[in-house]
Structure 1
Amino acid sequence: MTADQTSQPVTVTLTSGPSGPGTIDDFELFYARRALDRFRARLGRKGLLDLLAADIEEGNAFLRDSARTSDGDFRGGTTVLAARGITSGEFLAWMERAFVGDETALLAAHPEHYVMSPGADGAFNVVENIGPHVCSFFMGGWGTDAMAWAADAEELLSESEFPHKMSSNLFLEDGTVVGRALTQFGDTVDGLTASLTVYVPTSAPEEVLEHHLRHYAVEFRNWITTAASARA
């Protein structure tokens, strides 16, 4: 083996064995999801929250400090997904049902989803990663004044192309607003387009925004495919 050969990256190719379709990466993803589902089911919500209590305290402190040092200013980024074979109406109908009573489906969309639960006061509690930080926050509007930012957002798209819009503040239990979300959906000739915008405090590191754009891509891809499968 020459020096040039040893400097090349190692690749491994599956040439025979399994009879089912898929790559090695597909197999690994299947087993990783199965293991994660088992741990979630065994621990339950309380077990997960107990296990992550210290991480959540640290993550929420990060968000609170970021909001304070940003003085209420946020910067946004947008992930855009195109899907074929399902309309925005079909997807959003599934989403509405899931957010009311199918936490398992919501959690399964991303490995770093820990809790997704509606609260008694109308707020929706989410425990997930924001960048590298595990955080517990709430989603909701809380009145016209609180959501005035959405009408003036630079990322707001035309009503004719994206008629389905949802906006939310992201806030901690003490009411501190630590982020925002604006999701917009429209139909195409053969499916839908999803424009998914998240806003983080301006003082937060760039990786926080970048990783949430990736987070959006993973969770919404999986929610869309799950919604399509549920029609059968």
Structure 2
Amino acid sequence: MTAVEVRTVISGHDVSRAEVLAWEAARLPKAATRIGLAVPPGELAHQRLRFAEAKLALGPDEIRRRLSGALRASDLSGRATARLSRGRRVTSVCDLHVTGGDTAAFVDWFMATDRPDYERSMMAANPDHFLITTTSQGLQEVIETTGGSPLPSRFLIDYQDLASLRTPLDPTYTADASGVARSESGLPIGGVRHQFRDTDSGFHAHLVVEFPRLLPSHLVQQHQWHLAVEFTNWIEAAFRGSADSWS
């Protein structure tokens, strides 16, 4: 096990761990209301785990059923915004400077879909994660509320065909986790270009999410906090060891 500390930078400004945790704590009751679950009692660390377990207990079909109306509305809106944006993108960016750990160990952990705790760790990292699973076609199905959006959305992440991404690879980073987000019909609606490199004290994660250009700027800005929450939780879990990652 390796102790890590994470320094978050959003829009060029350092953000404290306490501020990131406060954003997560404020989102949890909103997510619970959306999915029709009770807010777990206790401290945030306990709530994070219990809420993830409650969502997992529902199962994918029930999650899709409970969110079906909101997902239909967000799908219509998302596809319209993508088409009107005509391939143009705006990016939501968050940088994490990690003391301790290393790039290879984290990326291997993050991308290992065969980990016994994979779905649990994906769900627990952010209260706005309702479903993250792998389809039979090898795509990643995601149902989440992005940033400050009023509605959850469903999309499929393709980690193979990256042609529609607008953010180029930076050769100064040694690893990346990049994918194209598609609607169920296959329309590219965005994507991720997350890049990582080792530093003298640990590693640096440069996290980029591409959204359609016409998405309101407030939603894009709020997603920086979404990124900070999920990746800080993932990094802390990856270097605590799987046995106690979410205890």
* Separation in 2, partners of 1:73, 1:100: 36
Structure 1 residue runs of 5 or longer lacking an equivalent are 1-24
Indicate conservation of the 8 Å contact 1:141/1:147, yes or no. no
TM-score (normalizing by structure 1): 0.79
- Asked if 1:229 is matched to 2:236, the reply is no
Indicate conservation of the 8 Å contact 1:128/1:134, yes or no. yes
Indicate conservation of the 8 Å contact 1:147/1:167, yes or no. no
* Separation in 2, partners of 1:202, 1:100: 36
- Asked if 1:89 is matched to 2:104, the reply is yes
* Separation in 1, partners of 2:114, 2:60: 16
What's 1:128 paired with?
144
* Separation in 1, partners of 2:154, 2:239: 29
Aligned residue type for 2:137: D
Counterpart of 1:59 (choices 74, 80, 101) is: 74
What's 1:116 paired with?
132
* Separation in 2, partners of 1:66, 1:103: 30
What's 1:140 paired with?
158
* Separation in 1, partners of 2:164, 2:64: 33
Aligned residue type for 1:48: I
Number of residue pairs aligned between Structure 1 and Structure 2: 202
Write out aligned runs for 1:1-232 (5 A).
28-98=43-113, 102-131=118-147, 132=149, 133-143=151-161, 146-147=162-163, 149=165, 153=167, 156-157=169-170, 159=171, 161-230=172-241
Structure 2 residue runs of 5 or longer lacking an equivalent are 1-21, 26-41
RMSD (Å) for aligned C-alpha atoms: 2.3
Aligned residue type for 2:158: G
* Separation in 2, partners of 1:31, 1:231: 17
> Percent same amino acid at aligned positions?
25
The alpha carbon displacement at 1:28 in A equals 3.2
Residues 16-74 of structure 1, C-alpha deviation per residue, up to 9 Å, x if partnerless?
xxxxxxxxx79631343244134214322222111111111111112111101111211
TM-score (normalizing by structure 2): 0.74
Give the direction of change, closer, same or farther, for the CA distance of 1:31–1:226 in structure 2 (3 Å limit). closer
Aligned residue type for 2:54: F
- Name the stretch that deviates more: 219-228 or 57-66: 57-66
Aligned residue type for 2:65: D
Aligned residue type for 1:174: S
Whose radius of gyration is greater, 1 or 2?
1
**SS of corresponding position for 1:130:** coil
* Separation in 1, partners of 2:190, 2:165: 12
Aligned residue type for 2:89: F
